[in-house]
């Protein structure tokens, strides 16, 4: 692994902090002072901790900004050295040298942005705000460096004569295309415009995320009358009491828009008025015409993205984004969505009619609304399949489900997990595991961070503090982590998961195992370095094992009695697998279509976000009982994340998932040959080659849409 000396800025900080009568007398600076600086800011040197885990307990927030500033300077110098070279441009001295640049910046970014998602506060957000334009400028400095691009192009133009390996050719093509997409072919005037656009977009993205975090954390529904808790399971009531206490509402109950709080309330509460209050609190985030409103930010972002796409020669932002996706064009995306949408919407209307019928039979004098869906669908599920979500929760403890995941990984690939309590971690909730292969060789580190807290953004994700690679001649092992938002255990009762929450744990581990089993050479190609519409595929496949009787029998045990989940309950779970898929598919597709509508705009004219959203969904015929999974004001995936023109990717990946699961079902869910082929051609290669080519090597064919429709029960009506 490449080693670095203490960065000059660290020495400068030490010197500046010393009172000296003679500025030239640097000998008076004690070794202790220098050591203190390097201790205070360990980001300036390689981590000497076990497995190279970041020394979280030594890193202070004040360390990040100087580390970013120096690492950006370092990266610029590395890039300038490549660009200014006078020798003939080769793959090694240009393309590979660029890949190896930025180690310091990569290390700092991995730690900082890893923690901004789960340990955010005003200070961290202010650092992000300060660093964002600097990183945007650095990216532009690289992409718009004419001398550097000339060398890259010189190598690219002779690629057919270089006899490159597949991963090397991929790196060359990706690098060249990145320059073109980054504005390398623009004239000087347009390059200035592009820099301005990138800076503005970066700032808007940060602001959108800040507003959403405030909206999510500030909302609370305080209940002081116990009668208003009617219908709620005991563990949900207990969790609400803990939340109330944490928020200075002692003796009361508080529900928030965080999913572990919101979803159970909407599902079980018999108080329709309170369901409406909480539902609107969630769906109106970023849409309250106050200081934290995101509508204008979204509109401005869409406008600037269109302007940037036009500047770079693309029809729309969607055309620009999808060029690097497996879908390739917006037309292909809409073709898929249009295949699924009619069947999903038809089923959703049937489901809504069933709910209205049930409500009427119970004497309701109202039309079923969006905030009633979870409540009545759960009633129908229970009646139709004799299954209650609360009935399954005692069998899905968080610890049990995690062990079920480990069981599945060992059965498939021989991978084992050894927990370590003595390794560095960034929060007391984090659990750390060493991961070993079937031959007992060390693979990497897996970290989990399961519990909800206000410093976390919502949702669930996987990322890495270090990716796997070996471009310096030795194996660098991965440090992978999952972050989720589950309720904390209350008293002696462990955290119990709904079926969907347990599925999410399997899903995120699907990302993690790809990062852990990665077997690549170049850092930019390893792990989950894949197109947005393909990267969700391995995680979705992982969910399938959870519902298999052999897996459930291993981990789904009652937290009190230890009784294995009864097979009749398993049968009910599997039978209900297609239940409510009209709603699930429609609310998801509604968000995907909203994303594509924003980014298929062929104008820079600012849109009235509320009207634009309403029109886009009405044109598709979305029924009033269903809101898209993400509305504009809180659609962080596309306005402050990396999914713009890409939210459709979950269902695109689902096509690969459904086809892959057919192979496992046909050959055996733990068939060694199938599992090995999947590992070799899907999990290990990362982005070293076109993923569609790798998929054909695994499956022997391209995936088809029909298995997806069959799985969701959308091919026939009742």
**Whole-angstrom Cα distance, residue 213 to residue 105?**
26
**Contact in structure between 200 and 134 (CB atoms under 8 Å):** no
CB burial of 263-298 (b: ≥16 within 10 Å; e: otherwise) equals bbbbbbbebeebbebbbebbbbbbbeeeebbbbebb
Task: Give whole-number Cα distances, 712 to 97, 533, 705, in Å.
Answer: 47, 19, 11
Report the 10 Å Cβ neighbour count for 92.
10
Strand 479-486 versus strand 442-451 pairing type: parallel
Report the 10 Å Cβ neighbour count for 568.
10
**Contact in structure between 112 and 66 (CB atoms under 8 Å):** no
**Whole-angstrom Cα distance, residue 379 to residue 267?**
9
**Contact in structure between 488 and 451 (CB atoms under 8 Å):** yes
**Contact in structure between 473 and 455 (CB atoms under 8 Å):** no
The alpha carbon of residue 22 and the mean position of all alpha carbons in its chain are separated, in whole angstroms, by: 53
Catalytic residue among 99, 508, 543, 613: 508
Task: Give whole-number Cα distances, 285 to 297, 341, 645, in Å.
Answer: 13, 26, 21
Which stretches within 24-165 are classed as H helix?
31-40, 61-84, 97-100, 103-116, 122-143, 146-157
Question: % helix / strand / coil in the chain, to the nearest 5?
Answer: 60, 5, 35
Helices 272-283, 259-268: crossing angle, 10 deg rounding: 150
64 is written with which tokens? 């990040």
The alpha carbon of residue 354 and the mean position of all alpha carbons in its chain are separated, in whole angstroms, by: 35
**Whole-angstrom Cα distance, residue 527 to residue 510?**
11
Report the 10 Å Cβ neighbour count for 18.
12
Question: Which of 541, 546, 550 is closest to 573 using CA atoms?
Answer: 546
**Whole-angstrom Cα distance, residue 587 to residue 629?**
5
Q: What is the dihedral of CA 126, 73, 191, 321, to 10 degrees?
A: -60
Angle at CA of residue 475, ends 69 and 422, nearest 5°? 75
**Whole-angstrom Cα distance, residue 466 to residue 470?**
12
Angle at CA of residue 704, ends 698 and 710, nearest 5°? 115
**Contact in structure between 526 and 468 (CB atoms under 8 Å):** yes
Strand 442-451 versus strand 416-420 pairing type: unpaired
C-alpha dihedral sign at 433, 439, 442, 444: negative
C-alpha dihedral sign at 58, 64, 65, 71: positive
Return the residue matching tokens 């400068």. Answer: 12
Given strand 442-451, what is the order of strands in its sheet? 416-420, 431-436, 442-451, 479-486, 461-466
- Known catalytic membership, residue 508: yes
Could you say which DSSP state residue 370 is in?
G
**Whole-angstrom Cα distance, residue 163 to residue 155?**
12
- Which contiguous run of DSSP H or E holds residue 710? helix 706-711
Catalytically active residues are 508
């Amino acid at each position: 692994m490449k080693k670095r000396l203490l960065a000059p800025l660290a020495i400068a900080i030490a010197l500046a902090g010393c009172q000296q009568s003679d500025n030239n007398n640097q000998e008076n600076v004690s070794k202790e002072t220098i050591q203190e600086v390097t201790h205070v800011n360990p980001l300036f040197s390689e981590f000497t901790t076990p497995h190279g885990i970041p020394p979280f307990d030594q890193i202070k927030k004040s360390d990040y900004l100087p580390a970013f500033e120096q690492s950006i300077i370092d990266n610029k110098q590395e890039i300038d050295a490549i660009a200014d070279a006078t020798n003939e441009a080769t793959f090694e001295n240009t393309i590979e040298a660029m890949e190896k640049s930025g180690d310091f910046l990569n290390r700092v970014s991995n730690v900082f942005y890893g923690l901004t998602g789960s340990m955010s506060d005003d200070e961290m957000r202010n650092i992000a705000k300060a660093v964002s334009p600097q990183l945007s400028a650095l990216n532009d400095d690289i992409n718009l460096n004419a001398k550097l691009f000339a060398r890259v192009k010189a190598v690219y133009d002779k690629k057919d004569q270089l006899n490159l390996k597949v991963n090397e050719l991929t790196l060359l093509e990706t690098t060249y295309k990145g320059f073109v997409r980054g504005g390398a072919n623009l004239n000087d005037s347009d390059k200035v415009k592009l820099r301005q656009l990138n800076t503005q977009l970066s700032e808007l993205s940060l602001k959108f995320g800040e507003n959403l975090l405030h909206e999510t954390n500030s909302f609370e529904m305080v209940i002081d009358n116990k009668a208003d808790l009617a219908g709620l399971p005991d563990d949900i009531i207990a969790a609400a009491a803990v939340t109330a206490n944490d928020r200075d509402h002692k003796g009361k109950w508080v529900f928030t828009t965080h999913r572990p709080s919101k979803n159970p309330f909407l599902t079980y509460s018999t108080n329709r008025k309170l369901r409406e209050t909480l539902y609107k609190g969630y769906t109106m985030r970023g849409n309250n015409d106050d200081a934290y409103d995101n509508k204008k930010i979204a509109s401005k972002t869409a406008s600037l993205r269109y302007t940037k796409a036009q500047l770079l020669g693309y029809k729309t932002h969607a055309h620009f984004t999808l060029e690097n996706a497996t879908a390739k064009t917006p037309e292909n995306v809409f073709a898929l969505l249009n295949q699924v949408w009619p069947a999903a919407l038809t089923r959703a209307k049937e489901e809504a009619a069933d709910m209205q019928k049930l409500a009427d039979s119970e004497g309701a004098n109202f039309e079923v609304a969006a905030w009633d869906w979870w409540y009545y669908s759960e009633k129908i599920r229970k009646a139709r399949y004799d299954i209650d979500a609360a009935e399954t929760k005692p069998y899905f403890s968080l610890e049990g489900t995690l062990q079920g995941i480990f069981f599945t990984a060992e059965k498939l690939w021989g991978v084992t997990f050894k927990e370590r309590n003595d390794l560095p971690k960034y929060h007391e909730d984090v659990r750390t595991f060493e991961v070993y292969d079937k031959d007992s060789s060390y693979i990497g580190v897996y970290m989990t961070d399961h519990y909800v807290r206000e410093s976390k953004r919502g949702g669930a994700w996987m990322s890495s503090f270090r990716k796997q690679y070996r471009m310096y001649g030795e194996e660098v092992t991965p440090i992978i982590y999952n972050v989720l938002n589950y309720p904390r255990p209350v008293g002696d009762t462990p955290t119990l998961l709904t079926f969907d929450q347990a599925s999410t744990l399997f899903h995120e581990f699907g990302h993690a195992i790809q990062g852990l089993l990665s077997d690549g050479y170049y850092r930019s190609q390893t792990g989950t370095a894949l197109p947005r519409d393909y990267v969700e595929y391995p995680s979705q496949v992982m969910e399938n094992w959870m519902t298999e009787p052999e897996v459930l029998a291993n981990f789904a045990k009652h937290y009190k009695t230890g009784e294995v989940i009864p097979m009749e309950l398993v049968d009910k779970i599997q039978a209900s697998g297609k239940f409510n898929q009209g709603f699930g598919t429609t609310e998801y597709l509604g968000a995907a279509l909203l994303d594509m509508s924003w980014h298929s705009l062929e104008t820079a004219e600012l849109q009235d976000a509320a009207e634009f959203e309403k029109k886009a969904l009405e044109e598709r015929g979305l029924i009033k009982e269903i809101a898209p999974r993400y509305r504009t004001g809180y659609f962080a995936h596309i306005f402050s994340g990396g999914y713009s023109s890409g939210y459709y990717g979950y269902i695109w990946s689902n096509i690969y998932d459904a086809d892959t699961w057919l192979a496992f079902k046909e050959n055996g869910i733990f068939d060694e040959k199938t599992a090995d082929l999947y590992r070799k051609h899907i999990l290990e290669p990362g982005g070293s080659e076109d993923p569609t080519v790798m998929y054909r090597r695994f499956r022997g064919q391209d995936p088809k849409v029909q298995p997806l429709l069959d799985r969701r029960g959308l091919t026939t009506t009742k």
